[in-house]
């Protein structure tokens, strides 16, 4: 598995291209802005995108993703507890003074538990609310990778001062899903640099307080 991070939009959100360098099968994670740049990189990599997965439904992760869905002709996945939030992206864009955006069509529920197969990869899905009601963390232990959205960042954690947030739920999600992972699991967050479970366990003050 190879993962390319493309930081996009005014919120500096990390869109991901996840793919196999051998089969060239892959999927996108949170292509919420600068879709043209993301798809150009997909073309350069010669990756066949098979799905679009959203870690959660906040505007920076979904706003302009409908363009990617239409141009690629692939199914989209989002946890059902964030569908309503994603549908409100046009109103949120207006509130933030951003260009108009269409509502992204969500085709399938991203499971909050169990296995999720996509583009030849198998992930363990975990419902991790706190930053949003429908946040999901996807872990691939064999590849030592976790796609964490805005649950945890290098040295910090996701905001809990937005509608639908819960500090208690965020703490519980981190304790239940992140802290039991091995130290060498690489975390791919929705903002900022990649990190590892071990690094955050040792140096992230929010995680240290939960141990």
Structure tokens at 152: 């945890």
Burial class (CB in 10 A: 0-12, 13-18, 19+), 43: exposed
Query: What residues have CB less than 8 Å from 12, skipping those under 6 apart?
Result: 191
Q: Give pLDDT tens digits along the chain (211 positions).
A: 999 999 999 999 999 999 999 999 999 999 999 999 999 999 999 999 999 999 999 999 999 999 999 999 999 999 999 999 999 999 988 888 889 999 999 999 999 999 999 999 999 999 999 999 999 999 999 999 999 999 999 999 999 998 889 999 999 999 999 999 999 999 999 999 999 999 999 999 999 999 8
Q: Does domain 2-208 have CATH number 1.20.1250.20?
A: no
pLDDT (0 to 100) of residue 163? 86
pLDDT (0 to 100) of residue 176? 98
Cα 187 from Cα 16, distance rounded (Å)? 12
pLDDT (0 to 100) of residue 173? 98
Query: Phi/psi at 60 (nearest 5 deg)?
Result: -65, -20
Strands 113-118 and 25-29: unpaired
pLDDT (0 to 100) of residue 96? 84
Give me the residue spans of the domains in the chain: 2-208
Structure tokens at 66: 């409908």
Cα 67 from Cα 33, distance rounded (Å)? 9
Strands 108-109 and 113-118: unpaired
Structure tokens at 119: 């583009």
pLDDT (0 to 100) of residue 175? 97
* Radius of gyration of the chain measured on its C-alpha atoms: 16
Cα 85 from Cα 102, distance rounded (Å)? 13
Q: Which helix (H) or strand (E) holds 51?
A: strand 48-53
């Amino acid at each position: 598995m190879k993962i390319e991070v493309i930081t996009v939009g005014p919120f500096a959100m990390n869109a991901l291209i996840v793919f196999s360098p051998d089969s060239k099968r892959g999927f996108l994670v949170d292509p919420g802005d600068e879709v043209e740049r993301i798809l150009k990189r997909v073309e350069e990599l010669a990756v066949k995108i098979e799905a679009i997965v959203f870690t959660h439904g906040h505007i920076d992760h979904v706003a302009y993703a409908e363009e990617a869905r239409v141009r690629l002709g692939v199914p989209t996945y989002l946890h059902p507890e964030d569908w309503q939030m994603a549908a409100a992206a046009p109103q949120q864009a207006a509130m933030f003074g951003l260009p108009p955006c269409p509502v992204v069509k969500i085709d399938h529920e991203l499971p909050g538990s169990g296995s999720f197969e996509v583009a030849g990869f198998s992930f363990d899905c975990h419902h991790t609310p706190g930053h949003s009601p429908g946040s999901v963390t996807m872990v691939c232990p064999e590849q030592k990778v976790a796609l964490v959205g805005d649950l945890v960042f290098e040295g910090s954690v996701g905001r809990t001062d937005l509608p639908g947030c819960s500090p208690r739920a965020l703490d519980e999600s981190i304790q239940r899903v992140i802290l039991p992972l091995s130290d060498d699991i690489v975390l791919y967050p929705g903002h900022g640099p990649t990190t590892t479970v071990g690094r955050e366990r040792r140096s992230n003050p929010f995680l240290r307080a939960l141990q």
